[in-house]
Structure formats: structure tokens, C-alpha cells
A and B are shown apart, each in its own frame.
Chain A
Amino acid sequence: MSEVRLPSALRRLLWGLGAAAAYVAVVWTASVQGGMPVRLLFDGPHPQQPYNFVDPPTDLAARNLPAQPGEATFGLLSKGVIAGGSVSTGDGQAGLTFPAQTFAARPGQEVVVTITPQDPLSVGPPPDGLAFDGNAYTVRAEYRPSGQEASPEREVTALLRYPVRANTLLRWDGSGWSRLESTNVPATLQVYANTDQLGTFVAAGPPPPGGQTNWIVFIPLAAIALAAIAGFRARRRQRTKWTRQGTRRGAR
């Protein structure tokens, strides 16, 4: 019996379907099964618009825009459960993601989640060895129209953008800040964590050492790159010359 071989292009595409499925499966496993959403490729610099402070540093006060709040309503689905979804502030600096059934369903009630920015120092001093980086955000959830507090029955993901150098997320527990097991994404200046309680969150990191990125680093790097390119091209020309000479002599 002769072997049936698929055309080369089709075989290549089938391998690609496998690679694409593997990628989706890995993301699904990490994000859904792992319980922690993961930031996918971005490669960009941090968000371009300046950070909006509640209480800006003196040198940024003139250009500072007020930090914005956020609000979202999670309605009762026909299945009798509260829907999932996400809520973000208007400037994208804070957001929370809620899986479906995070809140217990109550007949005729929906859940409204609000995010309110505030100065973290007005909540409490930072833990030893840490400095706040950006605003604190107070997250409240309540049933409407009853106005009763709604507490999550599942873990939610809280995500904050920070202005400079945070690496952890803190939650105010009423008497002090507690660290959450956080994932930091320096590429986008965001830190996020899963939590089973709402409240006030803030991003924090090591105190600033002072100093700024030295942009002059670009000049020697570019010079090295150009020199390397020139060197490779010269060597390639030399090699081509040797090869031609050898071919000519060999032909004689």
C-alpha cells in the first residue's frame, strides 16, 4: 500500500493549527484554570497619558488632571445568577474583573460596583520599606435598590496602573495595609492581584532612589550597532572576493 502524503502547504497549515490551539490552550489554562488573568504580549511603553493623581507631586501639579472614578452595574441573569464582567475608572487607572456569580443573587436586585480614587496617605501610612505609587482606590459593591452591601463570594481580580515603580498591591484591612500576592507587569506599569474582599487598594513599591533614565545610552548602542553592521558588510565583501578569486583560479 502506498503512503498517502498531504501536500506540503497543507501539512504546514496543520502544524500551524496545532501551534495556534496550543497557544490558546496555554492562555486558557493560565488564566481560567490558574485563576489569574495574565497580560499577553504588548511590548509597548507604559500608557502614554500622564498619571492622574488625586494629590499630585508638586512638579506635576500644574498639568495634573483629576483621577476619575468608575461604576458598573451587574444585573440578574435569567438563570437567576448575577452576571460577571469588569469595571474600570474613566481614565483606566484602576479596574476589577468579576467572574459570574461573584455576588449572591437576590430577587429584584442588581449589584452596583463603584471605584473611588483617593489619596493613599489619607487612608493610612505605607508599610515599612514601601512607598505608595499612585492613588488608592476604594471599591464598594451594593445591591440596588436595597442599598445593602454586597460581598464577593468568589475571588475577583483587582488591577491598578501605577506611575513609576510599584511591584505589589496592598489592601487596607481597617487597621493597616496588607500585601496581596501580586503580579507586576512593568511593561504596562500595572500590578494586579486576586482578592476575595473589596475595600481600598493601592500600588506600592520600593521608595524612589532618585535619578532618571539616561537617554544618552541610546547613542553608544546605536553606534555599536552601526559599527557591527559595517564590520559584517566589509567581511562579507572580503569573503565574496576570496571566493571569486578562488573560482577564477580554479577554472584556469
Chain B
Amino acid sequence: MSAAISSRANADRALDQERHAIGWVLALGMAGLFTSPAGMAGLAVTVPIGILAIALPAAGSGERSRALWMAATALGIAAFWTAGRFAPLPALPLGTSTVAVIIVAAVAEEAFFRRLAFSWFSRWGDLAAIALTSIAFAIVHVPAYGIAALPIDLAAGLLFGWQRWATGSWLAAAVTHAAANLLQAI
């Protein structure tokens, strides 16, 4: 009996240590994304963070419904398309490699924020997870997009967070984020 209790205590301690370690990964990942240079060199930071975020354990949550997933993705893309009509900066010229890069970057960021970070923050509830990941997402984009984009990226983070909460998966946010990036070229 005491051996069983001891093993369970060890397992609980390991779980705590894992949470603690993931907290450090999140903090370092945030610092990495915040300071990552613009341009191709930024991928040297974003891609390892994305790989780490996909490989590390993270709990899923919520209902899994294909119809809901598709509706959430469509709604997200529609919002980004509509918003683009109000921000009429000239379209960005895209090459094939740029298309690949912005898709990879979007997936890596969503794996970090909506998979790993959301799961970690959700111990304080879904609302806290959505809010905290949105704030973190907005902050790391300031160096690259300027302070003027902070409220916009905060709102984008809330939209992605809603997708994560509504679908129980980070993939709808990843698809929407990639589409939002591509819409900048249209």
C-alpha cells in the first residue's frame, strides 16, 4: 500500500516538474519570438519553437466536431478577409518560398500559442487561457509590426483563442493564421 502511494507521489511530482519545465519553455519561447529577427533569420527561432510546441505534451479539450471545426475556420478566414478591406496597404509580392515560409511560421506560432501555451494556461480556466495567450501573442509581434499593430494582434489572438476553445484543437487557428498571412498578398 505504501509502495503504491509512493509511486503515485513520484508520478505527481514528475507531473509538477513537467508543468514547471513547460512553463520555462513557454517563457523562453516568448523571449525567443519577441527578439527573433525579421526576415529569413527569424525562422531559425520560430521553427525550433514550433517543433518543440508540437512535440511536448499538451492536453486537448472541448468537443471535436468536424462541422464546428470547418465553421470556426471559415469564420476566422472571413474575419481576416473582411478586415483586410479596411487596411488597404499595397499587397505584398510573394514568391513560392515566401508562401512556404509564412505557412510554416503560422503553424509554428499556433502550435506554440494555441497548443502548448493554451494547454498550460487552461489550468486557470479557458477564459484565462484565451486572454493570456492573446496578450502573449500580441506582445511578441510588437517588434516586427510596431506598437500600432498591438490592439489588432490582440484581437487576432482572441479570435484564434476562440477557435482553439470552440474546436478543442489548435489546427483551426493554424489554418486560419496561414490563410490570414496569405491574404496579405491579395
Tell me whether B181 is interfacial, beta carbon within 8 Å: yes
The answer on a CB contact under 8 Å between B145 and A185 is yes
Which of A30, A186, A231 has a CB less than 8 Å from the CB of B144? A186
- Shortest Cβ gap from A26 to chain B (Å): 4
**Interface: B27 (CB within 8 A):** no
B 18-34 binary contact with A (CB < 8 Å = 1; else 0):
10010001000000100
Number of interface residues of A (CB under 8 A): 74
Beyond A43-B109, A43-B181, 6 additional contacts (C-beta under 8 Å) are A27-B86, A31-B88, A49-B93, A49-B95, A183-B148, A213-B41
B60 close to A (CB within 8 Å) = no
Cβ of A9: which chain B residues have Cβ within 8 Å of it? 63, 65, 67-68
* Shortest distance from the beta carbon of B89 to any chain A beta carbon, whole Å: 5
**A73: which B residues are within 8 A, CB to CB?**
none
A17 and B113 alpha carbons, distance in the complex (Å): 21
Q: A23-B83, A40-B180, A250-B4 are in contact. Are A232 and B57 (CB under 8 A)?
A: yes
Say yes or no: A23-B79 contact (C-beta < 8 A), given A47-B93, A229-B52.
yes
Closest to B48 in A: A225
Please indicate the chain B residues that have their CB under 8 angstroms from the CB of A106 in the complex.
Answer: none
B61 at the interface (CB under 8 A from A): no
Q: Name which of A56-64, A123-131, A144-152, A233-241 contacts chain B.
A: A233-241
Which B residues are within 8 Å of any A CB, using their own CB? 1, 3-8, 10-11, 14-15, 17-18, 21, 25, 32, 37-45, 47-49, 51-52, 55-57, 63, 65, 67-68, 71-72, 75-76, 78-80, 82-84, 86-95, 97-98, 101-102, 105-106, 109, 141, 143-146, 148-149, 151-156, 158-159, 161-163, 165-166, 177, 180-181, 183-184
Interface of B is mostly: helix
How many angstroms from the CA of A238 to the CA of B78 in the assembled complex?
Answer: 45
CB-nearest residue of chain A to B83: A27
Across the interface, A235 reaches (CB within 8 A) one of B18, B75, B93, B105, namely B18
The chain A residue sitting closest to B96, CB to CB, is: A48
Also in contact, A225 and B11, with CB within 8 A (given A24-B82, A40-B180, A184-B146): no
Q: Is the CB of A232 within 8 A of B18?
A: yes
- The answer on a CB contact under 8 Å between B152 and A26 is yes
Chain B residues contacting A28 (CB-CB under 8 Å) are 83, 86
- Given A40-B87, A235-B18, does the pair A23, B155 have CB atoms closer than 8 Å? yes
With an 8 A cutoff between CB atoms, is A32 at the interface?
A: yes
Q: List 18 A-B contacts (CB under 8 A).
A: A15-B166, A16-B166, A19-B159, A20-B159, A38-B87, A40-B83, A41-B156, A42-B184, A46-B38, A47-B94, A86-B90, A92-B93, A186-B144, A213-B40, A224-B48, A225-B51, A231-B21, A249-B4
* A residues in contact with B80, CB < 8 Å: 23, 40-41
Does A222 count as interface, using CB distance less than 8 angstroms?
A: yes
Cβ of B105: which chain A residues have Cβ within 8 Å of it? 43-44
**Closest A residue to B167 using CB positions:** A12
Cα–Cα distance between A21 and B84 once the two chains are bound (Å)? 13
A159 touches B90 (CB 8 A): yes
Return the chain A residue nearest B178 by Cβ. A43
Q: How far is the CA of A44 from the CA of B40 in the complex (A)?
A: 8
| Cβ contact within 8 Å between B11 and A24 | no
A19 adjacent to B162 (CB under 8 Å) = yes
The answer to whether A39 and B87 touch across the interface, beta carbons within 8 angstroms, is yes
Q: Is the CB of B148 within 8 A of A8?
A: no
Tell me the minimal C-beta distance from A75 to chain B in angstroms. 18
Q: Are A44 and B94 touching (Cβ within 8 A)?
A: yes
Which of B43, B78, B143 sits near A20, CB closer than 8 Å?
B78
A24-B79 in contact (CB<8A):
yes
Mark the stretch among A169-177, A187-195, A203-211 that contacts chain B. Answer: A187-195
- Would A44 and B68 count as touching, CB distance under 8 A? no
A27-B152, A43-B105, A92-B90 as given contacts; A221 in contact with B21, CB under 8 Å: no
Q: Is the CB of A36 within 8 A of B148?
A: yes
A residues less than 8 Å from B183 (CB atoms): 40
The answer to whether the Cβ of A121 comes within 8 Å of any Cβ in the partner chain is no
